[in-house]
Amino acid sequence: MTVYIIGNKRTFADFMIYVCIFYLFIWKLYCLLKCFCNGSDNLNSSTLIQNNFSILAFDFYNKHNLIHMSNAALATATEKLNRKGFLDLEIDPTLDLVAEIEKLKKEKNAIVLAHYYQESEIQDVADYIGDSLGLSQKAVSTDAQIIVFAGVHFMAETAKMLNPHKKVLLPDLKAGCSLADSCPPHLFKKFKEKYPDHVVVSYINCTAELKTLTDVCCTSSNAEVIINSIPKDKGIIFAPDKNLGAWLQKKTGRDLVLWNGACMVHEIFSNEKITKLQVANPDAKFIAHPECEEHILDRADFIGSTSQLLRYTKENEANKFIVATESGILHQMELASPGKVFIPAPPNNTCACNECPHMKRNTMEKLYLAMKYELPEVILEDWVIEKGVASIDRMLEVSAKAGFKM
């Protein structure tokens, strides 16, 4: 990861300020001497000129000073970028962020890609909203020179791998992923060495480095198709999500070697609270994401990726749904089916819904600042891109043949 430090240098404008101030001092001295020599009329005219010049000079000075202060603040924010994860700069509270973001898109030939789990206001300003597969496909097809990814770190890395010559921005570098973190590449490499003849299928929710150890990626949308595309005489390692892997074993009948990783959001749904919700809402369909634990999936009326869950709620005749995935998807469900009721499945804590703290690190303010200053930028080493992108390309190839479209 790379950030660019902006230096606090003296400029030509600084030099001109000092020249103006010096000239103002000489002018005042000249006017005073002239007044003593020529009387009060000259004093009045000289004072008028002097005052006007003073106003111009100090207006110029104040404007330059504001720019200088702004550059200094940006330099400080940039220096703290790796530690904080985002540009910590003040924004005028009266600024219309939606209008400014739309303006920056046009000025910079930029596109905003957002995952379904983002805040609703970010989804509304995005050019494309989707799940991991759709976002990957859009990242490949876009003509934009700057890709702004309103999602988490592995998503922005994927976009960079698919677009190595384009600038990819992530509003907050700390927007990570508990599932990706659960599979450190150096440990997985040792795990992989135990099964030298196996094909490695990695859920796209993993780091760029893990993708370099992967034969083919998958998403929750196309995972079953990817598994079935592998010859039945080949063993398969599936990483990093053990819950998705276990579900795939049931769906495909394949014996998968599973890495023991999981998503913190999908592992804390409360079976007891869901039961109470179903009792209180007997007409509701219960739908779940395959990253959920087995005891949650066993009771679901439908299991699918975020895009598949969304499509199910639009096409199914039911008017009420209990949704077991990150609650951000409910915004698109409500927009698509305004007459239907969507209830977030509750977790094992005091919250009414289940939100991903990493996804929610992105805000409209951070999105605006990232676009304005083109920071933070996602940078990957060449070898990571060259070796890792093959697993994504293979996934997109298999998906295209299977008819998966955005």
pLDDT on residue 24? 59
92, two tokens: 């005028």
Whether the CB-CB separation of 347 and 128 falls below 8 Å is answered with no
Q: H/E/C letters for each residue in 113-124? A: EEECCCCHHHHH
Looking at this protein, which amino acid is placed at residue 202?
A: S
Tell me the whole-structure pTM to 2 decimals.
Answer: 0.82
Q: How far apart are CA 205 and CA 293, in angstroms?
A: 17
Kind and range of the H or E run holding 150: strand 146-150
Whether the CB-CB separation of 248 and 224 falls below 8 Å is answered with yes
- Label residue 287 left, alpha or beta by phi (over 0 means left) and psi (-120 to 50 means alpha): beta
Whether the CB-CB separation of 368 and 122 falls below 8 Å is answered with no
183, two tokens: 């599979």
pLDDT on residue 268? 92
360, two tokens: 């929610």
Whether the CB-CB separation of 390 and 217 falls below 8 Å is answered with no
Please report, for residues 92, 142, 182, 245, the alpha-carbon distance to residue 179 in angstroms, rounded to integers and kept in the order given.
Answer: 36, 28, 5, 13
pLDDT on residue 63? 45
Three-point CA angle 311, 316, 320, nearest 5° = 100
What is the bridge-based pairing of β-strands 320-324 and 302-303?
Answer: unpaired
Per-residue pLDDT of the chain (406 residues; tens, 9 = 90+): 433 333 334 455 555 555 655 665 565 556 655 555 655 455 455 554 455 444 444 444 444 444 455 688 888 888 888 899 999 999 999 999 999 999 999 999 999 999 999 999 999 999 999 999 899 999 999 999 999 999 999 999 999 999 999 999 999 999 999 999 999 999 999 999 999 999 999 999 999 999 999 999 999 999 999 999 999 999 999 999 999 999 999 999 999 999 999 999 999 999 999 999 999 999 999 999 999 999 999 999 999 999 999 999 999 999 999 999 999 999 999 999 999 999 999 998 766 568 999 999 999 999 999 999 999 999 999 999 999 999 999 999 999 999 988 6
In 10 A of CB 257, how many CB atoms?
A: 16
pLDDT on residue 28? 56
Looking at this protein, which amino acid is placed at residue 322?
A: I
Kind and range of the H or E run holding 353: none
Place of tokens 């795939």: 248
In 10 A of CB 314, how many CB atoms?
A: 12
pLDDT on residue 2? 38
- Label residue 195 left, alpha or beta by phi (over 0 means left) and psi (-120 to 50 means alpha): beta
Looking at this protein, which amino acid is placed at residue 319?
A: N
pLDDT on residue 287? 98
